[in-house]
Structure 1
Amino acid sequence: MSASPLVSIIIPTYNAVKYVQQTVESCLAQTHDVIEIIIQDDCSNDGTWELLTKLYSQEPKVKLFRNTKNLGIGDNWNAAYTKASGEYFVIFNADDLMHPTMVAGFLSRFNADPTLDIVTGKFEILVTETNKTFIYPDHVDMHGGLVGDLYSQLFFKSAFHWNFSLVKKTLLKKVEFESGDLFLNTQVCDYELWYRCYLAGAKVYFDDTKIWGHYRKHESNSSSKPNGELRSFLKDFLYYHQNSFKEKSGLTYTKVLARRFLTFCNNRKNFEKDVFYLYVKRIAQSVL
């Protein structure tokens, strides 16, 4: 690692006018100041692009780009990724906040152990409606250090978030698709990238020494749309990784199962929780 490596912070944006300024300012406030902030706007129609150009068109650390047409989550992230040239990457959401020492703190972990691929850290949920915060549930009893069983932490807990992680470019190049893309164009593209890093044998360190940032919870979060995430998980993630998933978990994944689940989701936009959980139970019974 160079003495003061360039860190690329990529921020894909879409209709984030309420929060994006605070997000960018938290990135600019990093104590490690050798950074580039790549902002890729996916044809926002709420004033996001206009605000960004007004505030940051003259800021040398911020590079602004806009798609000519809406690409969707994964391909917008790909567009941002291809423009970044850092030795390390942070993949950040347009509505969240990072602690000013996050990049510097994580770089110190890489300095201590150059064999690491990812340093990730503890964060809090910030509820916009109440302005209250709480520790991300999977981190309440999680201790710092090398992550031993990355598969379990990812599949059973979803323990980590790219927002609050610093990753070597060498790892990202290793897990790129043949096309050169880093992300599947699907709603759970961030989770799918974690899984590919697991398959590549990534060495991950979890830093619990402080709260490294805040994930903002509000009505527009993509994660607040569970039907979409589950549809994405079955249609794209499990379909793409069915062989490794079957080998690791012992479960058999079939296209028929996916089609049945998607039909259910499409026909039940506002189903009750008990109905949903009953269906999930039937899915589990059908694949065991």
Structure 2
Amino acid sequence: MTAATWNMEAPQSHPHYNIVIPVLNRVDTLAATLRSCTSQSGDDIGIIVSDNLSEDGSGEIAEAFAREDSRIEVVRPPRRLGQARHWEFALKHVRRGFFILLGADDALLPDSVSRVRALTALYPEVQAFHGVYPPMYTYPEVGNSHAGHLTLSLSPLLETRSSAEWLRRLLEGEGSVLDLPFAYGMAG
């Protein structure tokens, strides 16, 4: 699921959009995830697949997609990392622009990056966009109660927040850490 989009540099007139996909043993879903990413239009998109030394063929799927689409870069840590460290490793490969963190068992809806592109044009001063309940499809192979379902929020919300103000509120006990953008979260 795409939960947050951050800009890694100062606002720019033509930002770059990086889709970062940390993966560990997701041979069952990775091809569908990558198809959803490569279907996004624009030459301002990069796709970083960070293979955490998968043992199930996920790395080979990523490499095959990279041979077909020059926007894809496959990276690997020198040794297998825990989830948080692997995400940090993957994010270190973002060189410029915004990033979208996407699970290897998730997918982007058609024109997702175009919608983010429109938001960055509308709000060029904003450094982070965060979707609390982004549209989410759960692959049937996942095997939980949401398997094979598309979850959509029917209440579109757009709110601009001052990070300094919301951090102050948090420190003064007036809010929750969940009021702040975070890189990856589950829609409830």
TM-score by length of 1: 0.48
Shift of 1:111: 1.4
SS at match of 1:80: helix
Q: Which residue of 1 aligns with 2:158?
A: 145
Structure of larger gyration radius: 1
SS at match of 1:10: strand
Deviations 1:131-150 (A, max 9, x none): 22233xxx45x441215696
Q: CA RMSD in A?
A: 2.9
SS at match of 2:14: coil
Question: What is the alpha-carbon distance in structure 2 between the residues aligned to residue 54 and residue 104 of structure 1?
Answer: 25
Shift of 1:22: 0.9
Specify every segment of 5 or more residues in structure 2 that has no aligned partner in the other structure, as ranges: 1-10
Letter aligned with residue 132 of structure 1: H
Distance 1:87 1:46, change over 3 A: same
Q: Which residue of 2 aligns with 1:120?
A: 130
Q: When you count helix as a share of all residues, which structure comes out higher?
A: 1
- The answer as to whether partners of 1:11 and 1:92 remain within 8 angstroms in 2 is yes
Q: Which residue of 1 aligns with 2:39?
A: 29
Letter aligned with residue 158 of structure 2: G
Deviations 1:109-154 (A, max 9, x none): 221122222223431342525522233xxx45x4412156966575
Letter aligned with residue 155 of structure 1: L
Q: Which residue of 2 aligns with 1:268?
A: none
Structure 1 position 63 matched with structure 2 position 76? no
Specify every segment of 5 or more residues in structure 1 that has no aligned partner in the other structure, as ranges: 163-189, 192-214, 218-288
SS at match of 2:138: strand
Question: What is the alpha-carbon distance in structure 1 between the residues aligned to residue 14 and residue 125 of structure 2?
Answer: 18
- The answer as to whether partners of 2:29 and 2:139 remain within 8 angstroms in 1 is no
Among residues 77, 83, 107, which one is paired with 2:93 in the alignment?
Answer: 83
Among residues 39, 49, 74, which one is paired with 1:39 in the alignment?
Answer: 49
> Percent identity over the alignment?
20
- Structure number with greater CO (CA < 8 Å, separation at least 6) is 2
Question: What is the alpha-carbon distance in structure 1 between the residues aligned to residue 99 and residue 83 of structure 2?
Answer: 18
How many residue pairs align between the two structures? 160
